[in-house]
Chains A and B, each alone.
Chain A
Amino acid sequence: MYQFNFAPVFANFDHLLQGAWVTVQLSFGAMLLGLVVAVLCAAGKTAGPAPLRWLIDAYVELIRNTPFLIQIFFIYFALPVFGLRMTPNVAALVALVVNVGAYATEIIRAGIESIAKGQVEAGFALGLKRHQIFRYIIMKPALRTVYPALTSQFIFLMLTSSVVSAISANDLAAAGNDIQSRTFAAFEVYLVITAMYLLLSLGFSALFSLIQRLAFNYPLSR
């Protein structure tokens, strides 16, 4: 009968917390930068010239149809061939930004396209100023539409980020690999780490839906 041994896990718990902090930082950093990429790409896709649209389409489709592990291998191992050398943590951030940027582009584009043209025209007819139309007629409903999709994309990003341990960035999963290789308590280590990921994703989901209720709980006229 197997004897469970959680002692080495809890002896190294500060190491795990450090890894979890890196995971949270990586996820938030990648989400924020990824949103910048996504807003630019979505704007380019809805209003840009045809060649730019094709380029953005190629980026989005390429990223969405290849595994994240290959993307990070490419960025970490292949880019140095062209003199672009990065530390594991920077490569991890870059890979996550490139990845989430593609998914968020589609979300933001759908949000922009969800605003009916007549709404904007009605705003002009009512004599609203351009910045008022942008704020009240475009941004508020669009933000409300895309918010749930973006928050679940964030959770998905945080879970995906565990893969950066494969290039030895020092995130939560990597802390697990580290402790596992020193203590051989593999199952116990990954059990605790999986529980930590679960707490993180449940916690952030709860936080995001609280924010949603506080910030977007107004009637939408249709």
Chain B
Amino acid sequence: MRLIVMFDLPVDTSEDKRNYRKFRKELINEGFLMIQYSVYARVCVTKQSAQFTENRIKTFLPPRGLIQTLTVTEKQYNSMHFLVGDQKDDVRNTSDRTVVI
């Protein structure tokens, strides 16, 4: 199961930019991977853990802007079409239970 976070944040003032940087960094610290600009995804084992992660995100939201989340199943996520470009090759982008490095 994947939790996808999509956002548009204002970057007009230096305070806006700081809020944006802080939010993005926190997302990465939560284990999210940038699958493209402003779109982040993370593997969650169950629906509960997706909910849990979303609740954690709610603790560091910036004051303004637009942030949306979407939960999709593993199957739905993997059937995503790549019209141009390729999938990110990253451990965080797989759901394998055993990862060999």
Task: Answer whether A and B are interacting partners.
Answer: no
Task: Name A's B-contacting residues (CB within 8 A).
Answer: none
Task: Name B's A-contacting residues (CB within 8 A).
Answer: none
